[in-house]
Amino acid sequence: MGGRRSRTHVCRRCLPQALVHLCRTELLTTVGDSRLVPPVTIYRDNRRCTSSLPSCHVGSTTVPATSVSCSESPPLSEERNRIDGLVVEHPYDALVRSALHDEPLESFVLGCMALNVWSQFSMFHQDECRRRAEEIRTELIARLERAGHVRGYRRAHAILKTIDPGCANPAEAALLWLVRSICPFSVKTQAHIGVRGHHYYIDILIEDLHLIIEFDGVAKLGESRVELEQAKREWVLRDQNLRDAGWHVIRVSWPDYNDWEQLRIRLSRVLGPINPAPDCRFLWKLPTQRCDGPLRRFYSRNPRMGRKHADR
């Protein structure tokens, strides 16, 4: 990889070692969203090259094939990190670069997941976590401002302004992206509602409309028949309690993501004849196959953290 025109097939687990070897021989920095997720983009101030890595399987997860390409644009700042021997641009710069250049769905989901980790988000200590998240958001927007009003600036600003640390997984983040692209009202994630002695944490809550929007992932149903039946009973009770308290509950599941336009129309009808805020309009763009093809979908088999303790 990186040598003349020959191609070396490298397992994803060997990718860091392969890039480390290249780093030892010449100046190289991993940049952009590859600092956070594949595909891999590197920067060096001399020779340009493009290579590829084949698909591989790690446990039950399939990692799709990806490319290793050279960026003509240098990192956004002089700050560097070193991870597993790799020199990488600062993670905040990587997220800003993603917001500038990647598809809105991709960069919004990445931003939510990054903010969730960086803020050490916990639904039980939200004030402290969200305070950290806002400090990080301020720094992200400041880095965007220093990059100047380059191409993609308005979209990047809209993304960095609306990403939320309360999304527990990519599916919830994708749903929030869709809601924020059409809804001008205040939107909350992991909002607590107490009803009849039960404590519920809501995926997405729009208080002005008394509306709850939730993503139903496979992981929430459990992995056995007994767990499935129990989950169904809890779902029925949860929905009934919330509706009796005056909330309108909308549920979205994985099959809904097969048609983004139809799902957007469905949510728009629920929200009513309203216009999104001007900045939020920059969030919407129909995802391409490259962004949301069959190999890009992520399904988690782990139960959602805290859910079994929170919803009681």
The closest of 113, 148, 303, 117 to 220, measured between CA atoms, is: 303
The DSSP H or E segment spanning 202 is strand 198-206
Confidence (pLDDT) at 271: 86
- How much is the pLDDT for 137? 98
> 267 — phi, psi (to 5°)?
-70, -35
Q: What is the pLDDT of residue 47?
A: 59
Query: For the sheet containing 188-195, what is the strand order?
Result: 188-195, 198-206, 211-216, 248-253
Output the CA–CA distances (angstroms, integers) from residue 241 to 124, 193, 311, in the order listed.
21, 10, 12
Place of tokens 């994803």: 12
pLDDT score of 49? 66
Residue 206 identity = I
Residues 6+ apart with CB under 8 A from 67: 39, 40, 50, 51, 52, 53
* Low-confidence residues of the chain: pLDDT under 70: 1-50, 63, 69, 71-72, 84, 218-223, 295-312
124: which strand partners?
none
Helix spans in 9-152 (H): 15-25, 91-101, 104-118, 126-147
On whether the CB atoms of residues 36 and 110 are closer than 8 A, the answer is: yes
**Could you identify the residue written with the tokens 């519920």?**
200
Q: What confidence score (pLDDT) does residue 291 get?
A: 84
* Nearest by Cα to 224 from 280, 289, 301, 157: 301
Closest CA to 140 of 168, 112, 178, 167: 112
147 with 76: CB under 8 angstroms? Answer: yes
> Quick one: which of 66, 78, 62 has its CA closest to 1?
66
Distance CA(166)–CA(303), nearest Å, equals: 16
In angstroms and rounded to an integer, the radius of gyration of the C-alpha atoms of the chain is 21
Q: CB burial class (10 A; 0-12, 13-18, 19+) of residue 277? A: middle
d(CA 59, CA 34): 22
Instruction: Tell me the C-alpha distance between 135 and 139, whole Å.
Output: 6
SS3 at position 302: coil
**Amino acid type, 174:** A
Q: Tell which residue, 89, 91, 53, has the closest CA to residue 73.
A: 89
